[in-house]
Amino acid sequence: MKKILILGADGYLGWPTTMHFARKGYEVLAADNMIKRQMASACDSAPLFNNLKFKDRVQRLNKLYCLNVSCVEADLAEYENIKKIFTEFQPDTVIHYAEQPSAPYSMMDIEKAQFTLNNNLNVTFNCLAAMQNICPDTHLIKLGTMGEYGTPNIDIEEGWIDIHHKGREDRFIFPRAASSLYHTTKVLDTDLIWFYVRTYGLKVTDLMQGPVYGIRSTSNGDELNNGLSTHFYYDDIFGTVLNRFIAQSVAGFPLTVYGSGGQTRGYLNIIDTLQCVELAANANIANGQLNIMNQFTETFSVNELASLVQSAARSLGLDCTINNIKNPRKEKEEHYYNPVSTKLKDLGLSPNLLTHDVLCEMIEYVSFYKNEIDIKKISPRIKWT
């Protein structure tokens, strides 16, 4: 079985990915420095329920499922740490989530902007440098974001676009126009990756992922009963929009639609993130290839999401209202949006769509923790301008 190194293994996606690959029999090394927990607590943000510390959750996972996941606590923005990990583990595949993932956090002040820029670019650079110098045949799977493309007035292709110009033609990375500093670091990551791929023949898959939702990351949800859940954030800084709306509906807080609510994005269930990453890990990729795939299963406007949550909440007897509040971000609120997403489906992705039942299940689960929801953490505190 392949040796998989997971960077950012303590995070919302990193932890389910660690469990997923380990339970499928891969040899897994999980790395993190728990910075996300520290950032969140410094911003007075907190997950809906507390989880074990990183090393303790790995130990519990190993004990409950008779696994042998190794873990390392290290700052991956330091090259010496990555060098040591790559040299000793010699991964076949690296899954890189180790970035500051919040757009609002990156827009809060200079210190947080600098941290986002330095951390995100340094971790990506360190991975590429370690691959170049230590493991040139390792496959890097990097989590990018659909937000790299922004909302252009043409169809969004999967990574590349053919340009015909003055009688000549060439293929380029699709134009990007991100709408936060965080999203811009992902654009810069992609440029850095493309330089290393075309110059040193590395092999990289860059997954352009939309906002993820969900709590349960396995089909039977056994991790929820075993103290191995992922972190579920619902606050204005670290919660993604659908997870926030679910918590708001449970708390009886009017759903916070920013602006007119026509902002449309490609969404996916956390279960499908795991499917996509595994499909990417097992796909053929050659040295010198940069494979960019758009990772989402369906598109919704914020208004559509709010209506879906409202009708699920009302069917469960909750009094759920919607409030269009002033948009704290600078983004188009009405726009064309037609991204292509066929590569992952061609590899076998079987989408878990956002049905009424999925919404009700999330609402019912979050309802167990209703008293833990702190409504002071809901309204947006950070403005772009």
Contact positions vs ligand USQ (CB under 6 A): 101-103, 145-147, 183, 209-211, 240-241, 244, 256-258, 263, 265, 302, 329, 331
Q: How far is the CB of 12 from ligand USQ (least distance, A)?
A: 9
Is 196 catalytic? The answer is no
**Per the residue annotation, which of 18, 138, 145, 151 is the catalytic one?**
145
The residue among 304 and 372 lying less far from ligand USQ, judged by its C-beta, is: 304
Q: How far is the CB of 252 from ligand USQ (least distance, A)?
A: 16
- Comparing CA positions, the residue from 142, 95, 146 lying closest to residue 298 is 146
Q: Other C-beta atoms within 10 Å of 137: how many?
A: 11
Q: How far is the CB of 162 from ligand USQ (least distance, A)?
A: 24
**Per the residue annotation, which of 12, 97, 182, 196 is the catalytic one?**
182
The residue among 81 and 263 lying less far from ligand USQ, judged by its C-beta, is: 263
**Per the residue annotation, which of 112, 186, 203, 377 is the catalytic one?**
186
The residue among 93 and 185 lying less far from ligand USQ, judged by its C-beta, is: 185
Is 105 catalytic? The answer is no
Angle between helices 14-23 and 54-65 (to 10 degrees): 20
Whole-angstrom distance, CA of residue 322 vs CA of residue 31: 40
The DSSP code sequence of 117-181 is HHHHHHHHHHHHHHHHHT-TTPEEEEEEEGGGT---SS-B-SSEEEEEETTEEEEEEPP---SSH
Q: How far is the CB of 287 from ligand USQ (least distance, A)?
A: 28
Is 2 catalytic? The answer is no
For 15, phi and psi rounded to 5 degrees?
-70, -50
For 138, phi and psi rounded to 5 degrees?
-70, 145
The residue among 331 and 361 lying less far from ligand USQ, judged by its C-beta, is: 331
- Residues near 321 by Cβ (< 8 Å), separated by ≥ 6? 254, 255, 310
Catalytic (active-site) positions: 145, 182, 186
